[in-house]
Chain A
Amino acid sequence: MILQSEQGDDGVTIVRMEGRLDLLTAADVKRDLADLVADGRRRLIFDLERVSFVDSSGLGALISGLKAARQAGGDLRIARANAQMHTLLKLTALERVLRPYETIEEARAGYTSIAAD
């Protein structure tokens, strides 16, 4: 697994990685996210604090994870994205779909509306 994950008491899983989320790592991230959702972790927060750079392949992996989570009745949210990721979201007009939350707490707050299992 390229991703580290940690499930809180509220059932929300925080997912972390370090480095670049780009064409070299995207396929692994996509697979890991699919595995997590298949494992029943359908409420995910992807913490981007230690991700230095994201390209369109990385964005594709996040969209793939978002789709999988939504299909399972959950969601995937991104938090603590850096300025480059914000630029990428603006350029692709995907910030409405993959809304960047400033903090983990903000991302987590919205999850109370999605019932836990």
Chain B
Amino acid sequence: MHHLLARFWEDAARIDCLPSETWRHLFTTALAEVVANGLRHAYAPETPERPLRLRLRLFPDRVEALLIDQGEPYRSAPCTMNLPEDDVDIADLPESGYGLSIAYAALDVVRYHRTRGGYNCWKLVKKLEQKQ
């Protein structure tokens, strides 16, 4: 994923459409979470091959990522966990489960759908900043 993204940003830079560094960090951080989520939930850990297809597309106003896997359907409805409050007790702090909250916080669209053909599809969209 990191190599694919690096190439994608190189291409974007070539046509003078490279989003800001902060924008890219938000997008990459969110994308990594959805990819990890797919690998974790769609396939059993012992599965020798866990195919996951990732397509990135750059539009004049947004970047879209489409993630497709052939694993188990994603069961729990996509939801966000509550992020820690000010007075959180360290001992109660969760060590996992931040993934999709990160994606929702960083992206404009996070949509899951299971195709009739038995594929999991995640569509992610992040709008580009308007150029000054």
- Residues of A at the B interface (CB closer than 8 Å) are 20, 22-23, 53, 55-57, 59-61, 63-64, 66-67, 70-71, 83-84, 87-88, 91-94, 96-97
Quick check: is B49 within 8 A (CB to CB) of the other chain? no
User: Closest CB of chain B to A115's CB: distance in Å?
Assistant: 20
CB distance from B35 to the nearest CB of A (A): 9
Given contacts A56-B33, A63-B95, 18 further A-B contacts (CB under 8 A): A22-B32, A22-B36, A23-B40, A53-B2, A53-B28, A55-B29, A56-B102, A60-B98, A67-B93, A83-B25, A84-B28, A87-B22, A87-B26, A88-B102, A91-B102, A91-B105, A91-B106, A92-B101
CB distance from B85 to the nearest CB of A (A): 9
Residues in B lying within 8 Å of A, measured CB to CB: 2, 21-22, 25-26, 28-30, 32-33, 36, 39-40, 83-84, 86, 88, 90-91, 93-99, 101-102, 105-106
Find chain A residues with CB under 8 A from B97 CB. Answer: 56
Nearest Cβ distance between residue B105 and chain A, in whole angstroms? 5
Give bound CA distance, A83 to B86, whole Å.
23
Question: What are 8 A-B contacts defined by CB distance under 8 Å?
Answer: A55-B33, A60-B94, A60-B98, A63-B93, A63-B95, A70-B91, A83-B22, A97-B84
Cα A63 to Cα B93 in complex, Å, equals 8
B36-A56 in contact (CB<8A): yes
